Amino acid sequence: MTMIGQVKAGKTSLVNAMVGQPDLLPADVNPWTSVVTALHLNPNTAPEDDRASFSFFDMEEWGRLLDRGGRIGELAARAGAEDELEKVREQVVEMREKSRKRLGDKFELLLGQQHDYNHVDGDLIERYVCLGDDFEDDFETSQAQGRFADITKSAELFLHRGALPMPLCIRDTPGVNDTFMIREQITIRAIRESRICVVVLAAHQALSSVDLALIRMIANVKSREVLIVVNRIDELSDPKSQIPEIRDSIRQTLKDHDGPVDAQIIFTSAYCGNAALMGMPEHVEDKARDALTAWAKSEDILPKGEMTDDELMWELSGLPRIYAALSERISEGMGQELLDRVAKSAMNLANGISAAQQVVSRRENDAELPPLQLEQLEGALRKLENKAMETMVGAFDAAIVDFDKRLERSHRSFLERATGSLLQHLDSHGEDEVWEYDPSGLRILMRTAYQVFGRNAQGTTKKVLTQTAEDYAALYHRLFEVSDEDFGIEAPTPPRIPAPVLLGQTIALDLKGSWWSRWWHRRRGYSSFATEFAEMIKAETDPIVDALRGAHANAIRDDAVQVLKDFLMEQRGILTRIASEAQAEPDGIGTLLDENSAAAKRAQLKQTMATLTGFAA
């Protein structure tokens, strides 16, 4: 799961409360840092195995920032916004000099490196993640605290958490409102790799204009996979009346900007949660505690019965509601997928045992039966595997070609409509009135193209997997003479299609600022407007289109092919085992059953199959 939100929304404090360690991550991260901190929580490791790993930006990423000022620099350069570009250049130079001062003249040699430690503590994390708000004035402190923070790209912390039922990875991302839009790129990548996205907003500025970047980012994620957490409610003067207003405001803003309107909204106070964890409920002022208690009672979210001060503070923090929401999503999402995968594999194993049992039973009852033609098995398996792989790859090649055409049509259609709107504006209002155009149309067109491709990809994958399962069942019937009419092989479930989070990336049309106005006023002549606008927007959107039809589409194909490969390997293992057992002497065949009573074994298998069928989706 990935945590996203504004700087100062209390994301990191919330993460600390969620993992039960109030002082784990530094909560005063300076806006310069662009670090994604991944907490790998595992109940199966030992506390002494806790470790940390820190990766630095590589030379290409650092060079892109220094040479072109990151995404915002590229955008400003395309738009001809020299003032903004100069500001970005000044900030880049300042950043480079501070990095050199902190790390020495050879700091570029650190780029691309990874530092590993066999322990985790606050001082270690601060050295890589946190600059602190006053680092410029305290050179001595900066030598330790935040020494590598400028160039750190990711921090991986591996922690024992015995109370968790299963391993969980929480990614704490930087805020999205940074100067160079580096964070936006990093956050988009983190959301794409996660199954649950938690958007953290501050109660006193829930969904201000800067959060429109957040809404764009989550607009392409399913509502059920988004959790909106409004933090710092302990700072509200009257939560009982303010929280319903904030909830309504968030819903309306999501609706207005094509966000996930059905996403669950939870109100929290990381401050209360950490106070409860430290056993210091008195840290929360009586006035705030009483106001939050009145709100919680009005919404009927407090458990019945007496509570200690710590327990009350924990309930008011909202952490139990976050855990409940996460548990639901894991059990119905990734958890159900895991159950489904295991159940289907186990059913296929049970089917294999059942087939072997039939072979054994017939051979024991009729010694005159001709030998099985098992020398054909290897050739039949290879033929079946080649056919399945060729069908899958060919179907995906066709689906990707179709996707490419749809994207190209959507891209061209948007550029034509936007340029037409621009010319119409110039005809109606002339050049003096600044024109604006909402780019959400482009995102909707590309999202639709991606959804069609996703449906085609899943349909293709399901068809190939189902046909392959039927081919395996036919192989059992032909080579092992399985006569059970109910015998069949379960095809695995196609992998999910990840959300096209990249569509939320900020483009020039999203930035309604002074630079756009200046770009506008520097143009003269209709053809100049239309040509330069089309070129700028095409240059802005080309990388998104290229990534969708390239990296995104290929990743979906790779996932599908991997599921097929795993299925082929599983079936090869089961079939070759049955073949080797069937060719053994009668006494050896009996060892496959590990039980004298074949009837009892059949009854157990039947019960096992019924149980597994209940688990498989």
Give me the pLDDT at residue 237, please.
92
In the block, tokens 């059942």 appear at: 354
Tell me which of 253, 281, 299 is where a domain ends: 299
Give me the pLDDT at residue 398, please.
94
Condensed to tens digits (0 to 9), the pLDDT of residues 391-416 reads 999 999 999 999 999 999 998 888 88
Taking each helix axis as running N to C, give the angle between helix 11-18 and helix 319-332, from 0 to 180 degrees, rounded to the nearest 10: 80
Give me the pLDDT at residue 404, please.
93
In terms of domains, do 295 and 339 share one? no
Of 166, 170, 232, whose CA–CA distance to 18 is shortest? 170
**Amino acid identity for residue 160 in this structure:** H
Contacts of 463 (CB under 8 A, 6+ apart): 395
Does 440 map to a domain? yes
Of 354, 320, 372, whose CA–CA distance to 593 is shortest? 354
Gyration radius (Cα) of the chain, Å: 30
Contacts of 252 (CB under 8 A, 6+ apart): none
According to DSSP, the β-strands at 51-56 and 114-117 are: antiparallel
CA distances from 601 to 362, 439, 476, 586 (A): 15, 64, 20, 18
Tell me which of 282, 299, 316 is where a domain ends: 299
State the Cα–Cα distance between residues 14 and 438, nearest whole angstrom.
34
State the Cα–Cα distance between residues 343 and 490, nearest whole angstrom.
9
In terms of domains, do 214 and 279 share one? yes
3-state SS track over 472-510 = HHHHHHHHHCCCCCCCCCCCCCCCCCCCCHHHHCCCHHH
Domain span at 453 = 334-615
Bridge partner list, 228: 199, 265
Does 314 map to a domain? no
State the Cα–Cα distance between residues 56 and 151, nearest whole angstrom.
5
State the Cα–Cα distance between residues 512 and 439, nearest whole angstrom.
12
In terms of domains, do 430 and 562 share one? yes
Residues in the chain where the model's pLDDT stays below 50: 31-32, 132-143, 210, 587-595
Helix/strand/coil percentages in the chain, nearest 5: 65, 10, 30
State the Cα–Cα distance between residues 262 and 255, nearest whole angstrom.
9
State the Cα–Cα distance between residues 400 and 557, nearest whole angstrom.
9
Count of CB atoms within 10 A of residue 533's CB?
Answer: 23
In terms of domains, do 286 and 356 share one? no
Are residues 273 and 233 in contact, defined by beta-carbon separation less than 8 angstroms? Answer: no
Bridge partner list, 279: none
Q: Put residue 318 in one of left, alpha, beta given phi > 0 → left and psi -120 to 50 → alpha.
A: left
In terms of domains, do 449 and 542 share one? yes
In terms of domains, do 447 and 560 share one? yes
Residue 228, domain CATH = 3.40.50.300
Are residues 169 and 39 in contact, defined by beta-carbon separation less than 8 angstroms? Answer: yes
In terms of domains, do 404 and 549 share one? yes
Does 89 map to a domain? no
Computed from CA positions of residues 99, 101, 105, 109, in that sequence, does the dihedral angle turn out positive or negative?
negative
Does 110 map to a domain? no
Give me the pLDDT at residue 40, please.
97
Q: Looking at the chain, how many residues does it have?
A: 617
Does 102 map to a domain? no
In terms of domains, do 437 and 550 share one? yes
Does 108 map to a domain? no
Are residues 142 and 102 in contact, defined by beta-carbon separation less than 8 angstroms? Answer: yes
Does 318 map to a domain? no
* Sheet containing 226-231, strands listed edge to edge, beginning at the edge strand earlier in sequence: 114-117, 51-56, 152-160, 36-42, 168-172, 2-5, 197-202, 226-231, 264-267
Q: What are the backbone angles phi and psi of residue 44, rounded to the nearest 5°?
A: -95, -5
In terms of domains, do 274 and 340 share one? no
Using DSSP's 3-state secondary structure scheme, residue 46 falls into coil
Question: Cα 216 from chain centroid?
Answer: 15
In the block, tokens 């020398």 appear at: 375
State the Cα–Cα distance between residues 130 and 142, nearest whole angstrom.
10
Of 598, 393, 299, 359, whose CA–CA distance to 484 is shortest? 359
In terms of domains, do 410 and 518 share one? yes
Of 270, 70, 37, 295, whose CA–CA distance to 173 is shortest? 37
State the Cα–Cα distance between residues 188 and 272, nearest whole angstrom.
30
Q: Total structural domains in the chain?
A: 2
State the Cα–Cα distance between residues 187 and 580, nearest whole angstrom.
52
Count of CB atoms within 10 A of residue 501's CB?
Answer: 24
In terms of domains, do 361 and 280 share one? no
Tell me which of 272, 299, 326 is where a domain ends: 299
In terms of domains, do 441 and 351 share one? yes
Does 397 map to a domain? yes
**Amino acid identity for residue 37 in this structure:** T
